[in-house]
Chain A
Amino acid sequence: MAEPRIILHETGQALAEGAVERELPLLERLWASAVVRKTLLLVALGLVWEIYARHLDNPLLFPTLTETLGAVMERTRDGTLPARAATSLRILLMGYAAGILLAAIMTVLAISTRIGTDLLETLTAMFNPLPAIALLPLALIWFGLGSGSLVFVLIHSVLWAVALNTHAGFLGVSQTLRMVGKNYGLKGLSYVLRILVPAAFPSILTGLKIGWAFAWRTLIAAELVFGVSSGQGGLGWFIFENRNVLDIPSVFAGLLTVILIGLVVENLVFRVIERRTVRRWGVQS
C-alpha cells in the first residue's frame, strides 16, 4: 500500500523579482484621484458656460464667466460680498448649531423612553415634510424682522433631518455592540455618548450633511423673500438687491458665492470629518 508523500516546491521567487507589487502608470494614478476628475469637470463646465454666454452675447440675461468673475472680484474688493457672506454664515451657524442641539436632546429622549420615541416619530412625521420657508410668515409675526425669524426657520430645516437620521442610526447599532457597552457597565448618557453616537456616526454625519444643505437653501431663500435684517442683509439680499438694479453679473456673482461656499463646506469640512472618522474606521467606504 502506498504511503502519502509530500513533494516540496520552491517558493518566494515572485517577491525577489518584484512581481508582487508594481506601480501603475502616472496617468492612471491621476485619473484615480477624485479631485483631479472633479476639477477637470469644473473646468469643462466653466468652458461651456463661457462659450455659450459669448455666443448669446446678452449680459442682461446671461453674463459670461469672465464677467461674473470680474463682478466677484470687484464686489470682493469693495467689501460688500465678504460682508454679505459673513452675515449669512453667522446666522446660518447659529441656526445650525441650535438645530443640532435640539435634535440631540430629542434623540436622546427618544432612545431612552418609549414615549420619547413616539414623540419624535410623530413630530418628524408632521414637520419634516413642511417646507421651512412656509413658516416664514409666521416667524415674522412672532420674532419680527430680524435674525430671530431666520434662526427659527433654520432650526426647523435642520432639526428634523438631523433627528431622523440620528435616530435611525441609533436604532441600527448592532445588538452585539449594545451588549458590549452594557457589559462595561455603561448606562444612560455615557452609554449614548460612548457607544451609540460613535457607532451611529455614519448616519449622524449623513444627517448633518443633509441638515447643512437644507439650512443653506432655506437661508438664501428666506433672505430673498424678506431680505434685509437689522441693517445688513446676507447673500440672498445681495442677489435680490442687484437684480432690482439689473446688475446681472453681480446677481451671478452672488449665486456663484452661494455655490462656492456650499462646495467648500462639502469638500473641506465634511470630507475631512469623513476621512478622519468613518473612513478610518472602515464603516463606510
Chain B
Amino acid sequence: MTALLEVDGVTLTYKTPQTLVTATRRVSFHVNESDRYVLLGPSGCGKSTLLKAVGGYMKPTEGQIRIKGREVQEPGADRMMVFQEFDQLLPWKTVLENVMFPLSVARKLPRKEAEEKARAYVEKVKLTRAIDAYPHTLSGGMKQRVAIARGMAMEPDILLMDEPFAALDALTRRRMQDELLQLWQDTRFTVLFVTHSIAEAIRIGSRILLLSPHPGEVKAEVEDVESAATTEGGAQRLEKEIHDLLFSDEVEPEAEDEEEAAHG
C-alpha cells in the first residue's frame, strides 16, 4: 500500500539577501489515510517550510514530495491550508461566502450545491449564528474555526495546518484542540499539523515526527500517540520523554512552560 503523502529525502533551501539557508535536510516521512500527523520541533527546524513545500509553495532542492503518487508541483485545492494568521479569511466575504468561495472557484460546484455544503460545514464548527458576519467582527478563535470549516468543506486529500492555534489564548486553544479532535472523529480526514508545543502535539496527533533544528532533520518518530492518553499520567511521561529528546543536546535545558511556549 502506498501512503497518501510521501515526503522522500526532501532538502529545502531558501535565499535571504545575503545567504542561502538550508531549512530542512533529507527529511523523509509518509502520512497514511486518516492520520493526524504532527510535525513537531523547536523554531528553526523547518517544520513550517516543510508544510509550505507540501502545499506546493516551494520546490525541494533535493528529494520528492508525492501526494497519491503524483509529484507536488504547485499549490492546489487538493491540499487545503489552514494558516496561523487571522487574516487568512477574505475580509470582503462573509463567513458563508468564505467557505463557499473555494468550493465554487476550485471545485467548480454550482452555487446551490456549494452553499449547502458550506452551510453544513459552518454548522459543524458551530458558527451558524455568525454565518452572515464579516470576518472583522469575529474573535480569533471563530476566525480559525471558519478557516478550518473552509478547509474541510473542500474535502481535500490532506488538510495542512500551520500552527493554527498558536495565536489564540490558552483557554480558546484548548477548546479548539478538542473541537478539532471531535471533527476528526466525525469525518476522519487526513491532517498534517505543524506545532512547536509538545503538549499540543500529543493531544492532536496520532503520529508525531520530531525534528531537530539548524538544519531541520528527522530526530525520531512517535507512533500510536493516542495510547498515551489511556494510561494514568501517560501523556505527561510522553511529554517529558519528547522534551528530553528534543533538548538533549542543549547546554541549558529550557525551563519554559509548555503552554507559554505555544504562544509564540
Interface on A for B, CB 8 Å cutoff?
174, 176-177, 179-180, 182-186, 190, 194-195, 198-199, 201, 277, 280-283
Q: Is the CB of A185 within 8 A of B75?
A: yes
Question: Is A201 touching B105 in the complex (CB atoms < 8 A)?
Answer: no
Q: Which chain B residues lie closer than 8 Å to A177 at the CB level?
A: 87-88, 90
Residues of B whose CB lies within 8 Å of any CB of A are 55-57, 74-77, 79-81, 83, 85, 87-88, 90-92, 101-102, 105-106, 134-137
Contact B75–A281 (Cβ < 8 Å): no
CA distance A176 to B90 in the complex (A): 10
For the residues of A in contact with B, the DSSP-based class is helix
In the bound assembly, the distance between CA atoms of A264 and B57 in angstroms comes to 47
- Minimum CB–CB distance for B70 against chain A, Å: 14
With A183-B81, A282-B135, A282-B137 as known contacts, state yes or no: A176 contacts B92, CB within 8 Å.
Answer: no
Given A174-B87, A184-B106, A198-B90; A283-B136 close (CB under 8 Å): yes
Given A179-B75, A179-B83, check contact A281 B91 (CB 8 Å): yes
Contact A185 B77 (CB under 8 A): yes
Contact (Cβ within 8 A) B135 A183: no
Q: Closest CB of chain A to B100's CB: distance in Å?
A: 12
Q: How far is the CB of B175 from chain A (nearest CB, A)?
A: 20
Q: Could you tell me the distance in whole angstroms from the C-beta of A271 to the nearest C-beta in chain B?
A: 18
Contact pick for A183, options B77, B134, B136, CB 8 Å: B77
Q: Note all chain B residues with C-beta closer than 8 A to A186.
A: 105-106
**In the complex the two chains form, is B105's CB within 8 Å of A281's CB?**
no
Note all chain A residues with C-beta closer than 8 A to B101. 184
Return chain B residues, CB-CB under 8 Å to A184: 77, 101-102, 105-106
Is B91 touching A282 in the complex (CB atoms < 8 A)? yes
Q: Contacts A176-B83, A180-B81 given: A282-B88 contact, CB under 8 Å?
A: no
- Asked if A185 contacts B106 (CB within 8 A), the reply is yes
Listed A/B pairs (6) with beta-carbon separation below 8 Å = A180-B81, A182-B57, A190-B105, A195-B90, A280-B134, A281-B135
Cα A280 to Cα B132 in complex, Å, equals 12
By a CB distance below 8 angstroms, the chain B residues around A198 are 90, 92
Which 9 pairs from chain A and chain B are nearest by CB? A282-B136, A182-B75, A198-B92, A281-B91, A176-B85, A184-B106, A184-B102, A281-B92, A176-B88
Shortest A101–chain B CB gap in Å is 23
Chain A residues near B90 (CB-CB < 8 A) = 177, 180, 195, 198-199
